[in-house]
Amino acid sequence: MNMINVVSTDPRPTDDVWIPSSCSVCYGTCSILAHRVDGVVVKIEGNPESAVGKGRLCGKGVSGIMTHYDPNRLTRPLRRTNPKKGLSEDPRWQEISWDEALDEISAVLRKVRAEDPRKLVVQRTTTVTASRVLFQTFAAAFGTPNLSTSGGGLHCGNGAHLISGIMHASWSIVPDFEYCNYAIFFGASKGHAAGHASCSNMGKAADARARGMKMVVVDPICNFAAAKATEWVPLRVGTDAALALAMCNIMVNELGIYDGPYLQAKTNAPYLIGPDKLYVRHPESKQPLVWDTRSNNAHPFTEVAAADMALEGEFTVDGKRCRPSFHCLRDHLRKFTPEWAEKISTIGAATIRRLAKEFGTEARVGSTIVIEGVTLPYRPVAAIAFRGSQGHLNSLYNFYAVDLLNHLVGAADVVGSCLGFNPASHGHPDTGKLRYIPSADPDGLMVSGMWMGYHYPYPPSEPRLPTNIGMQDLFVLGMISPFLDSTDREEMWERFDFPYRPEVMVNFGANLLMSIANKEAVAASLANYKFMVSFDLFLTETSNFADIVLPDCSYLQSLDSRSNFPFLFNLPAGMGEWCWPIRQPLLPPDGEQRQCADVLLEIADRVGFRADLNAAYNASLNMQAPHRLDRETRYSYAQICDAELKNNFGPERGLDWFKEHGLIKWKKKPEEVYWRPFVDVRVPIYWEFMLPIGAKIAAIAEPRGLKIPMEYYEPMPDFLPCVSHCCQKPDFDFYAFYYRDVVHTNSFTMENPWLDEAARLDPFSYTVAINAAEARKRSLHDGQLVWIESEAGRKVKGRLKLTEAVHPEGLGIAAMCGHWSDGMPVAKGKGVFFNELLELDWEHVSPANMSLDLCAKVRVVPVEVAS
C-alpha cells in the first residue's frame, strides 16, 4: 500500500494511493482509508491505525463512494425564480454564478444584521460532526442566538445528552464493554451499528458478547441490538421509566442491594431534604447539610467524612424535620411495584423481579479490580438508554430512571460499568492541551469538564423571559427546540412579547421538512422565511424552500481539522487511546462546488464581520498565542485548521503533518477512563434543582397564559404518560414508533444506490413491522398496503411486514424514508415517512426539556377498505 505524504486534490492520472481521512456518512465519523486510483476513489475501508473505528467500517461507510459520485449532486449555485413556496411549488431553479449568489446573500445578511441579528436562524445537520464549529462560530459572530440542528437533538438528544451530562459529564453513555458482564439496553443500539463511535463500539460489543457478557435489550422491536442480545424484553412503547423504577424499587427495597459508600461519597444521597423538598442548608455558608452519624448532628457536606454521612433516618435541624435524599428516594420508589409496572409496560412482574435481581447481583457491589497497577472499584453492570426510551414526552424521567439503576449500585464510570464517553482527559502529553476534568459546583455537584456547546447541562441557567425563538432561555433544560417550526410558534412568540421574528435562514444540509415532524407544519414555518439559503449535496425536500442553493463539497472533497472532537462525542469509551483524526480532501470539487467552511468565511468578509468570525474561532477552538487568529486578517479555512492543529499539538504538527499521518494518538490512563473515584464530585440521585427551575419558569410563563405542569419538575423520577398512552379512541390500538435503520442515516442515505439496494433486500427497511399474531387477528397479511392513521387524522401509507419480533401493540417503521423530491430520484417514493404522524405543538413537547413526543396511537386500515 502506498500511503500518500502530502495529499493533492489535483490527482495526476497515474496515482494509486491510500489516504487517511474521516467518514461523514453518519455522525459516527469513523476514520477511513480511501483508495484513490488515477484520480478516482475506488474503495473506502476503516483505518486500523485509528481508535475511531479501529479499522472497521459499516455498510454506510463503504458506500460513501456512491453518495460522492451521485450524478444528482449539485454542481452550480441555484436561485429560485418562483417566489411562491410550498410543498407542491416548483422553485423553477435558475443557475447563477457564485458572485451573484454571494452578492445576494450578503446583501440580505447585511440588512438583517443591521436591523436585528437575531432575525437570522442558523441550522445545520448533525450528520457532519465537524460542521458544529463552522456554524457555532458563524452564528456567534453574526450575533444571533438562534442556532438549531433540526430533528437531530430534538429527537435524540434533549433527554439523553442532558442526563448523560448531569450524571456522567458526557454526551452519551455506553457499557465498559471490555469488563462489563451484564448490560441492559433501554431503546438503545450502542455497539450495534448506530450512534456515537459506532464502528468501534460494534467491535467492542461483539467481543463482549463472545466473552460472555449477558445483554438484555428492552425495546418494542427486536432488531439490531435485541437480535444479538441474550434476551429481548418487549415493552409497550414509551414506558421505560415504569420498568426501570420498578427494578430500582426491587433492588433497594426488596433485595437491599445498593452501594452505600458510593452513594455517600459520590452522590447527593446524604444531603438532608426538608418538608419543602429542598436541601436543608447551612444558614451562613448555604451549603447543603448532611447528618453526621459520628457527632449526631447536621453539618455542611464538606465538613463530614463520607463514611459518617447518614443515608437514612429522620432528623430535626433548626426545628425542621428532614431526611437524607436517599431516604426520600427509597420511600418514593416503593410505589413502583412490579405489578404496577406490568400494567404500564406489559412486562410481567416476575420478569421485572428477575431482571432487578440479576442486575443487582451482577453489580458485585463492594468489589475492586486492578487495572494497570491501579486499584479501582469494579461494577460490571450497565443500564444504557438512548433514542428509543428518550424520544418521548417523558424522556427526562425515562432516562433518569434508567440511569438510577447504575448509580444505586455505583456502576458509574468505573471498571465494567456504565461509562460516559471520555469525560476526563489529562491532555496531550506534549502540550497539555485538551485537558478537561469534571469539577464541583458550590453544592458539590458535578459540572462537566467539556461539552459540545457552552450551555452546560448542569448547573442549569436561570430561566428568563425568552428572546431565543426556540425559547431555550426559558426552558433551560432543553437543548434543541421544536418552537422554531411548531404550529403554535407564533402564539408562543406573541405570548412572550418577542420583539422580532425569524426572517432569514442559513441551512447546512438539514432536511428539516423530513426530520422533525409532519411536513405541513414544517413547510408552513419554512415558507414564512423571507429568505433562505441552503448548502446541499442534493436538492432535498427542504432545499426546495430555499431562495438560493449552494453546491457543497462532499466529505471526500472536504477538510476538517477536528472531525471527531470533542472526545465525549465520538471517541470510544474505555481503555485504549486518545485519537484526533482529521478529514482531508481526496478529490477536487466537481463543477463549481465549494466547501461551505470557506464560503462562510467569504460571506463574513462581504457582510463585514470578519473580525467577529475570527474572534469566534479563537473562542470556539480555544486558540492561544501564537496561534490565535488576528482580528483583521483574511484566513482560508485551511489556515484556520493549521492554526488549530498547531495550537493543540505543537508547531511541528500542523496541517501538513496531519495530512501525512492522518491522525495523532496517545495512550489513555486508567485514572482518565475510570475517573469517577479520583475526582471529588457528586451527582444528584435527587434532582433538587428541578423545583426552583420549575417555579421560576412557571412564574414567567403562567402570567402569560402558559400553564406549566409541575409534575415534570419533581426532584425524583416518575412515569408520566405520553399523549399516545391517553388515547381512548376505539380501533386506535397500535403505537407507531420509528427506529434508526442500520443501513440508513436519518433521511440522507436513501439516495445512495448501494444502501437503497441493501434496504430493498432488507424485509423491514421500507415496510411497517407489525406483530404477526395481531395482524392475523385483524385479517392483515404480509405485504398488504395499509394506511396508518393517527388519532389526529394524519396518515401515511406503507406495506406491512408480519413478524414475531415486535411488541403486540407496536408498529415499527424504519428511519425517515418516503422522500418526494425529484432531486433525490433514488430515494423518491421509497419506504414510509413516519414523521408525518407526529404533531408539532406544545401538547406534544416535554414542558421540562422540550423533547418531542415521537410515538403516535394509530389504527391500521387496509388501503382497499379505505378507498
Partner 1 sequence: MNVRWDDAVDSTLVRSSVTPAVPSWRDGDGLANDVRVHVQLFGALASMAIERAPNLVVPKPATLGNVVTALGERLGGAFLARVVDETGVKHRYCRLFVAGVPIEDLRTPIDADSIEIEMILLNASEGG
Least separation in angstroms between CB 146 and partner 1: 8
Q: Smaller CB distance to partner 1: residue 442 or 588?
A: 442
Q: Smaller CB distance to partner 1: residue 172 or 487?
A: 172
Cell of 354: 428477575
Amino acid (1-letter code) at residue 260: G
Distance of CA 726 to the CA centre of its chain: 27
Q: Smaller CB distance to partner 1: residue 439 or 636?
A: 439
Q: Smaller CB distance to partner 1: residue 142 or 555?
A: 142
Which region holds residue 370: left if phi is over 0, alpha if psi is between -120 and 50, else beta? beta
Least separation in angstroms between CB 157 and partner 1: 5
Within a 13 Å sphere around the CA of 627, how many CA atoms are in the beta-carbon half? 23
Least separation in angstroms between CB 368 and partner 1: 5
CA dihedral 669, 48, 387, 415 (to 10 degrees): -30
- CA separation for the pair 367, 638 (Å, rounded): 50
Least separation in angstroms between CB 724 and partner 1: 24
Q: Smaller CB distance to partner 1: residue 632 or 864?
A: 632
Least separation in angstroms between CB 40 and partner 1: 31
Q: Smaller CB distance to partner 1: residue 54 or 113?
A: 113
Q: Smaller CB distance to partner 1: residue 320 or 435?
A: 435
Q: Smaller CB distance to partner 1: residue 399 or 766?
A: 399
Least separation in angstroms between CB 80 and partner 1: 27
Scan for cell 382497499, then name that residue. Answer: 864
Measure Cα distances from 833 to 52, 55, 332, 766, 795 in Å.
32, 34, 41, 10, 10
Q: Smaller CB distance to partner 1: residue 90 or 462?
A: 462
Q: Smaller CB distance to partner 1: residue 73 or 168?
A: 168
Please, are residues 616 and 453 in contact by the beta-carbon 8 Å criterion? no
If you count them, how many residues does the chain have?
867
Least separation in angstroms between CB 601 and partner 1: 15
Least separation in angstroms between CB 333 and partner 1: 22
Cis peptide before 459, with omega less than 30 degrees from 0? Answer: yes
Cell of 38: 488515477
- CA separation for the pair 696, 710 (Å, rounded): 11
Least separation in angstroms between CB 340 and partner 1: 32
Least separation in angstroms between CB 122 and partner 1: 8
Q: Smaller CB distance to partner 1: residue 72 or 368?
A: 368
Least separation in angstroms between CB 570 and partner 1: 9
Non-local CB neighbours of 276 within 8 Å, separated by 6+ positions: none
- What backbone phi and psi angles, to 5 degrees, belong to 133? -70, -40
Where do the H-state alpha helices sit in 121-237? 131-142, 151-154, 160-168, 198-211
Cell of 812: 415499527
Cell of 704: 402569560
**Helix, strand and coil percent figures for the chain, each rounded to 5:** 30, 20, 45
Residue burial 2-31, b: 16+ Cβ < 10 Å; e: rest? eebeebeeebeeeeebbbbbbbbbbbbbbb
Q: Smaller CB distance to partner 1: residue 208 or 516?
A: 516
Cis peptide before 566, with omega less than 30 degrees from 0? Answer: yes
H or E stretch including 840? none
Q: Smaller CB distance to partner 1: residue 79 or 489?
A: 489
In 462-590, beta strands by DSSP E = 504-508, 531-536, 548-551, 577-581
Q: Smaller CB distance to partner 1: residue 242 or 479?
A: 479
Q: Smaller CB distance to partner 1: residue 249 or 648?
A: 648
- CA separation for the pair 359, 379 (Å, rounded): 10
CA dihedral 565, 567, 573, 577 (to 10 degrees): 80
Least separation in angstroms between CB 403 and partner 1: 18
Residue 752's SS3 state is coil
Q: How big is the CA angle at 67 (ends 64 and 72), to the nearest 5 degrees?
A: 175
* DSSP codes, 672-729: HHT-GGGS--BB-SS-TTHHHHHHHHHHHHGGGT----GGGG-SS------TGGG---
Q: Smaller CB distance to partner 1: residue 141 or 246?
A: 141
Residue 188's SS3 state is coil
Least separation in angstroms between CB 204 and partner 1: 20
Least separation in angstroms between CB 431 and partner 1: 13
Non-local CB neighbours of 280 within 8 Å, separated by 6+ positions: 272, 273, 274, 288, 289, 298, 317, 318, 320, 322
Please, are residues 527 and 545 in contact by the beta-carbon 8 Å criterion? yes
Measure Cα distances from 804 to 220, 732, 801 in Å.
11, 21, 10
Q: Smaller CB distance to partner 1: residue 81 or 375?
A: 375
Least separation in angstroms between CB 834 and partner 1: 18
In the DSSP assignment, the letter for residue 221 is: B
Least separation in angstroms between CB 209 and partner 1: 26
Q: Smaller CB distance to partner 1: residue 192 or 266?
A: 266
Q: Which of 816, 780, 787, 827 lies closest to 801, judged by CA? A: 780
Least separation in angstroms between CB 616 and partner 1: 6
Non-local CB neighbours of 490 within 8 Å, separated by 6+ positions: none
Least separation in angstroms between CB 306 and partner 1: 6
